[in-house]
Amino acid sequence: MLHLSGVAWASSVSIYNNELKEQIVTASVPLSLVGILFMLSNSVAVILLTLRHRGNHITLESERALPPASVISFSADIHKANLARVMKATSASKEMSIESDKDVKSKNHKKQVANSVISEMIKETISSMVELANNWNQSRLGELKYSANLFSVIKKDDLDFTKEEELREAVESSPFFLYVDSFESRTAHCDYLIISQQEYSTCNKKKLLKNGQMMVLPFSDSSTNLPKFHPNFEGAPQSLLTGQARYISDTKVLSEAFFKGTESTGHAEFLTKNYKAKIEQYYLKDDTLSLLSIPLFDSNNNYLAVLNIYSEQKNMLYSEDRAKAFYDFIRPHTQFVATLIEEQIKVASL
């Protein structure tokens, strides 16, 4: 249709060149029927070209948001492997009859063995998801290296800080606690702690040893009975709060958006210059430029963990729509991670 309109337009210009010039360019004579038709045909052509361009753009964005067939096939292979990992992990404690073992020493040894198996399965499952992310991205947009890390979500009251020196130090050094008069003040104003589990990080191990100090964030949800609580930061805390993955396209502007958001949560008046400076400094030094925080829940819908997939490049997933599509695509794999963590907790409680 556009081709035919182009032919008609060219023919009109050729035949009525002088007449159109007098009517449209110099306006020395009134518009004739030919002039009106010429202008209408041009207007229609412009509209059609605009619509076609818009349609092509939408099609391209849709294609980018959807995984190609090769990645779907690759995901199916990973799904099969991850399912085998879950079966191996869940059968470990049963095969060793941990629960029925009455010998304390023997039972503890079996628990250590089972936990080691489950931990290895968690690592492999998370690594497979990073591999899947890299595969999808490379097939569409070229090479972009992704990494992942895992944060546990633990009720503050379930922790014994007298026996967790590293955790205590991490709480005291974390920039994400607003009320910092004392250690007790830090822990009294939240219901949960979100704690990094460095052994499950897929980043370069040398880099992990250099920069991998345990990170802790406070978290409280809408059911809290605390009269005041630390604000929930973006990323992991907000993913738990909403129950949905949170995509952060640029961490360098994250602190500014967070500070502005505290106006609606009632925390703005408590923000000190020191608090703001520490958070800004943290993200200034951090190599992570974009990330997707994925909340994990157990079979009773209780908080378990947060899985972060991240990159040292801004806007790693290119758009909110593509981030949502990616999250939906890998959700079966994230559920495997949740199942493994739940099994790990179960073994520890035997």
The count of other CB atoms within 10 Å of the CB of residue 340 is 26
Whether 136 maps to a domain, the answer reads no
DSSP three-state, residue 66: coil
Whether 131 maps to a domain, the answer reads no
The count of other CB atoms within 10 Å of the CB of residue 226 is 11
- What's residue 7's pLDDT? 46
> 37 and 86 share a domain?
no
- What's residue 127's pLDDT? 92
Give the list of residues 6+ apart from residue 6 with CB closer than 8 angstroms, or none: 45
CB–CB of 337/122 below 8 Å?
Answer: yes
Whether 286 maps to a domain, the answer reads yes
What's 266's domain CATH number? 3.30.450
> 83 and 217 share a domain?
no
Q: Greatest CA separation found in the chain? A: 108
> 169 and 300 share a domain?
yes
> 220 and 294 share a domain?
yes
> 10 and 110 share a domain?
no
H/E element holding 196? strand 192-197
160 — phi, psi (to 5°)? -110, 100
Whether 150 maps to a domain, the answer reads yes
Q: Which residue has the tokens 């020191």?
A: 274
> 99 and 10 share a domain?
no
Q: Which residue has the tokens 């404690």?
A: 93
Domain that holds residue 221: 145-315
Count structural domains, the chain: 3
Whether 140 maps to a domain, the answer reads no
pLDDT tens, residue order, the chain (350 aa)? 444 445 444 544 444 556 555 555 555 556 565 556 656 666 666 666 666 656 555 445 555 556 667 777 777 888 888 888 888 888 877 778 887 888 888 888 888 888 899 999 999 999 998 988 888 766 554 556 889 999 999 999 999 998 899 999 999 999 999 999 999 999 999 999 999 998 898 865 444 444 457 899 999 998 888 888 999 999 999 999 999 999 999 998 888 888 888 888 888 888 899 999 999 999 888 888 999 999 999 999 999 999 999 998 898 888 888 889 889 888 999 999 999 999 999 988 88
> 294 and 161 share a domain?
yes
Whether 135 maps to a domain, the answer reads no
Whether 133 maps to a domain, the answer reads no
Q: What residue type is assigned to position 3 of the chain?
A: H
Q: How far is CA 139 from the centre of its chain?
A: 20
